[in-house]
Structure formats: C-alpha cells, structure tokens
Structure 1
Amino acid sequence: MAQVQVSSPAPVAMAARTAPARRRHPWLSPLVPVSPQARWVLGLSFFVLFFAVWAVVTLGGFVPRTFLADPLTMAREGMTLFAQYNFIGDIGMTVWRVLGGFVLAAVLAVPLGILMGAYKAAEAFFEPFVSFCRYLPASAFIPLLILWAGIGETQKLLVIFIGSFFQIVLMVAVAVGGARKDLVEAAYTLGANSRGIVKRVLIPGAAPEIAEILRLVLGWAWTYVIVAELIGSSSGIGHMITDSQALLNTGQIIFGIIVIGCIGLVSDLVFKQANQRLFPWSSI
C-alpha cells in the first residue's frame, strides 16, 4: 500500500498568522520593501521635521544665534553669498576638485583592485602596503603636499586622491575575490582560460558592487576636499566656511554645509540611477 505523507500544518498555520500581520503593518516588518512614493514621502518628512526642530530651537531663543543661526538668517546669508561673493564660482571649483581627484583615484584603483582580487599572489604583494596606507588620514599629508606641490590645485587633487585611492583598491579587491566559486569552475569546465575567467566571470559578477563602492567613496571624497580647502585655499566652499568662521557668521557656515549635503545627495541619486540602468540584474 502506498504511503501518503502529510506535511505538518505548523508552517502553513504560522504563515497564515504572519501574513495578515505583515499586511497590516508593512513598514514595521523586517525586509519588507516600501513603494517609491512612500520612500520619497518618508525621506522628505525627516527633512521637514529636522528644519522644524531647528526653527523652534533657534527662533524660540533656546540657543543664542551667535552659536547657531536660525533657518531664516541662514537663507538670507545664502542669498548674500550668491549675490555679492560669487558663491556659485566657489561651488564650481569645489565640484571640479572632487571630481578630478576622485576620477583619478578610480581610474588607477579599480584595475589594481581587480588584479588583487583575481590573483592571490598580487594580493599578497600589494595588500599589506594598501592596508597600511588605508589607515593614514589624508589630512596628515597636507603639510607634505604643500611642500611638494604648493598650495595650488595639484595639492588639493592629491589630498582627495590619497583619501580615495587606497579605500577603493581594497574594497574592489574584496568584491572581486568574493566571486562565486561554482561560476569559476563552470567557466573552466567550458574551456575558459585565466584571462577569460577574469574578463567574463569575475569582472561582470563584481561590476554592480564596484559601482556601489565608487558611489560610497565619492561621499568620502567630499570630506577630503573640504579639509584641503580649509588650508591654503583662496576659493571653494571650504575657503568660504573658513572666512565665515573668522567673522562668527554661523548662517553662512551652515549654508555652506547644507550646499555640500545637497550636492552630495544629488550625486548619490544620480549614481544610484546609473547603477540600476547599467546593472539591472543586481536589484533582482
């Protein structure tokens, strides 16, 4: 007589109980995605709440305006920067420095990271030095870079390059080295050589993660450029912040910080959209 196996009703009952709870409270359920519209609403809500608290604290007199300007004063000082001090030129100069140093670092770091991730001998040769340099703060090199390159644009590009290069190298190496071994073995079985493995398996498999690494490091590059502009600079957002600090103009300081955040947010969204279009399979 054929035996009929009856599955336990426990998993089915548990799923039946959790499904209504997930439908009732989707935002409180772990790993449950939200719609794009809800994501925009939630993101904007935080900014609204942040500015509301800021306005209450400053306009209500809880904090002296010398130490923290209110949103209205900050907006007026921002208009003054654009109207009288050519702040748009400072923004353009800072953006150029960030992109110049970051692109230079990425062009050199990504191939080296792929080499280290693909070949363990290369990783053993480069990894100790790269890890050593990764912990060195880029700002510590500024005195030496001023001696070597002066206070011109080369010095600022090199600060961003040093701060970004070693981070990208090590993170790309980890991404490439974490490739699925079954895909590599399958490629060898189909007759691929070592160069073909790197070109057709390792690089395509790690490409979405490499793009995400570049997006993250671009955010770090913005911190390095401000540090570079705080010392020995006659233009840029960091230079404006330094001048405003000497005048105790917290409105202009806050406006400069907010401008940096807005530019970073826009670049982050552009990077995300580009990554989704270039690597649509990564979001599946």
Structure 2
Amino acid sequence: MSPAEGLTSTARTRNLTQETRGRSDWPELPIRPAPSARRWLAPGREISSAARWVLRTVSVLAPLGAWVALSATKAVDPTFLPSPVAVWQAGVEMARSGELLTDTMASVRRVLFGFGLALAISVPLGFAMGIWRWALALLEPAVGLVRYWPASAFVPLLIIWLGLGEPSKLMVLVLGVVFFNILMVADVVRQVPRRLLEVSSTLGAGPGVLIRKVVLPHALPGIIDAARVNAAAAWNFLVIAELFAATSGLGYRIIRSQRFLQTDRIFAVLVVIGVIGIVMDVGLRLLRDRAGRWTV
C-alpha cells in the first residue's frame, strides 16, 4: 500500500468513527403505540362476517324498536302513526281481499316495463358518450339540460299526447330515470383506464374488439350498479304515474287510502314496496358480482 492510499484509508476510518459517534446522539425513534379501540374508525377497515350481520340486524331493529316505542307510549296519535300490529292486520286484510296482490302485480309490471325501456335507451347512449368524444359533445348538453326538468311536470303533456292509458304512466317512469342513467353510464365507461386501451391497441385490438372485450367487461359492473341506484327512482316515480286515471297499483292504493285517512294501509303498502325494492336490489347486486367477478 502506498503512503497516499494509507492516508486515504485513515481519513475514511476517522470519518466513519465521527459519523458513528454523531448518530449515537440522535434521539430514539418513537415507539409505535399499540392499536387502540378506535382502530375501527380507520377508513376501509374490514370487519368480520359476524360483525356485518350484527350491524345489519341493528339497522333494521333500531327503527322498528323506535316505531314500537312511539306506538306503545301514544306519543303520536295512532291515526297518524299506526302500530306495527295495526299495519300487519291491514296488510293481511288487503291480502285476503285480493286487492294487495292485484295492486302489486300492476305496479311491478309498470316498473319492469318502464324501467326496462329506460335502460334500453340510456345504456347505449351513455355507453356511446363514454367511448366517443363526438357523442359526448353531441349529447351531453341536451341530456344535462333535460335532466333538470321534473318528470311530474310532463304529466299534463303526456296525458294530451298519449291519453290516460298505460303508455303515459310508463313514460313518466322513463323520463324520471333515463337521463340520470345516461350520465351515470357515461361516467362509468369513461373510468376505463386509458393505459388498458393503449396496451390493447398496441397488441393489435381494433375498435370493435376494444369495445367488446375491454370496455364492456370493465364497465359492466358499474353499469349494473347505476341500474341499482335508479331502480329506486323508478319506484318513486311510480306513485306519480299512478296518480292519474289509475284503477290499480300500489301508488293508486296509497292515494286512495290517503283520502279515507287509512294510514295503516298506507304503511302496509310502503312495507310491500320496500320488500320488492330489496329483492330487486339483491338481484341486481348478485348479477353485478357475477358479471364482475374479476373486480372482487
């Protein structure tokens, strides 16, 4: 070893010793505290299956318990808030007379036809707006304007145009759902990663293959979720649709019961609508999970 190399090695050793001595003066790192009982507040934290079912049960029993308590204590006049027992009896009476089944079938038929027609219109248009910029520029201004027009405001026009039959009632549901669903579907399609499209194009996929095998599979779960949200809106507009010239339907039964102050029947019909809505929601959720198993 040359003298110069020896001096260099000695200097390096001296520097390392100084750095080590300086690091010994550094403050100790803070000790991470043990997870506290508030860790369930962490965003996105998973919960067990048992906890999930307990919370779901509480979400149902808590409002029901409040309802029973208000009825038992007579805090609210039974004319305005009937007891759960009275509502059950009213529902049984309507079921025995056959009117509940008739009204339910009429309303379900209207929702299925009206909501199905709204999906048949909105999904292709929203899909086109999400894929092609020219379709977005062409359709978004008109859709964005018309969606602020309340569907109930079209009732007089629909009666003039289509009469008092079923077509006018179905069109109320269509107008109440179609424009919102168009924009929701367009947003879902636009969320397809651009890099995924670029890679597929690089590998030789043409426009048709991109739409069928990349965009549609990726967007399908979101499209079904949009349908889940707007299915509830369809039931809301059903009551409006059955306000005029209807002789059957759950909305019609609510209006008729309101005239005679039969609040127990109104609550019974609301329970039926809620049960049907839950069945539709669960069905669409299962379809979403099956169509988008790759997202789980």
Normalised by the length of structure 2, the TM-score is 0.86
Q: Please state if 1:245 is matched with 2:258.
A: yes
Q: Please state if 1:203 is matched with 2:216.
A: yes
Amino acid paired to 1:273: L
Q: 2:66 corresponds to which residue?
A: 53
Q: Please state if 1:122 is matched with 2:135.
A: yes
Q: 2:240 corresponds to which residue?
A: 227
Quote how far apart the aligned CAs of 1:27 are: 4.1
Quote how far apart the aligned CAs of 1:267 are: 1.2
CA deviation string 1:247-278 (max 9, x = no partner): 10110111111211111112111211221122
Quote how far apart the aligned CAs of 1:25 are: 5.4
Q: 1:36 corresponds to which residue?
A: 49
8 A Cα contact 2:115 2:174, kept in partner: yes
CA deviation string 1:84-123 (max 9, x = no partner): 2521110111111111111111122111111111110111
Radius of gyration: which is bigger? 2
Are residues 196 and 217 of structure 1, via their aligned partners in 2, closer, same or farther at CA, if it must alter by over 3 Å? same
Quote how far apart the aligned CAs of 1:186 are: 0.7
8 A Cα contact 2:111 2:234, kept in partner: yes
Quote how far apart the aligned CAs of 1:34 are: 2.2
Quote how far apart the aligned CAs of 1:35 are: 3.0
- Give 5+ residue unaligned stretches, structure 1: 4-8
Quote how far apart the aligned CAs of 1:29 are: 3.4
Amino acid paired to 1:70: S
Paired-residue identity, %? 36
For residue 161 of structure 1, the aligned residue among 174, 185, 191 is 174
8 A Cα contact 2:217 2:292, kept in partner: no
Q: Distance in 1 between matches of 2:58 and 2:72?
A: 21
CA deviation string 1:98-156 (max 9, x = no partner): 11111111122111111111110111011111111111111111111112222221111
CA deviation string 1:20-57 (max 9, x = no partner): 33xx5564433112233432321122221211111111
Q: Distance in 1 between matches of 2:246 and 2:69?
A: 36
Q: 1:6 corresponds to which residue?
A: none
Aligned Cα root-mean-square deviation (Å) = 2.2
Quote how far apart the aligned CAs of 1:10 are: 5.9
Q: Distance in 1 between matches of 2:177 and 2:193?
A: 27
Q: Distance in 1 between matches of 2:181 and 2:124?
A: 10
Q: Please state if 1:100 is matched with 2:113.
A: yes
Q: Distance in 2 between matches of 1:273 and 1:110?
A: 19
8 A Cα contact 2:114 2:173, kept in partner: yes
Q: Distance in 1 between matches of 2:106 and 2:29?
A: 64
Q: 1:138 corresponds to which residue?
A: 151
Counting matched residue pairs gives: 273
- Give 5+ residue unaligned stretches, structure 2: 1-11, 17-27
8 A Cα contact 2:228 2:284, kept in partner: yes
Secondary structure in structure 1 of the residue aligned to 2:242: helix
Quote how far apart the aligned CAs of 1:64 are: 0.9
Q: Distance in 2 between matches of 1:197 and 1:69?
A: 57
8 A Cα contact 2:220 2:291, kept in partner: no
Q: Distance in 1 between matches of 2:230 and 2:66?
A: 31
Q: 1:257 corresponds to which residue?
A: 270
Q: Distance in 1 between matches of 2:213 and 2:283?
A: 27
Are residues 54 and 188 of structure 1, via their aligned partners in 2, closer, same or farther at CA, if it must alter by over 3 Å? same
For residue 83 of structure 1, the aligned residue among 56, 76, 96 is 96
Are residues 272 and 37 of structure 1, via their aligned partners in 2, closer, same or farther at CA, if it must alter by over 3 Å? farther
Q: Distance in 2 between matches of 1:236 and 1:230?
A: 10
CA deviation string 1:149-175 (max 9, x = no partner): 222211111111111111111111111
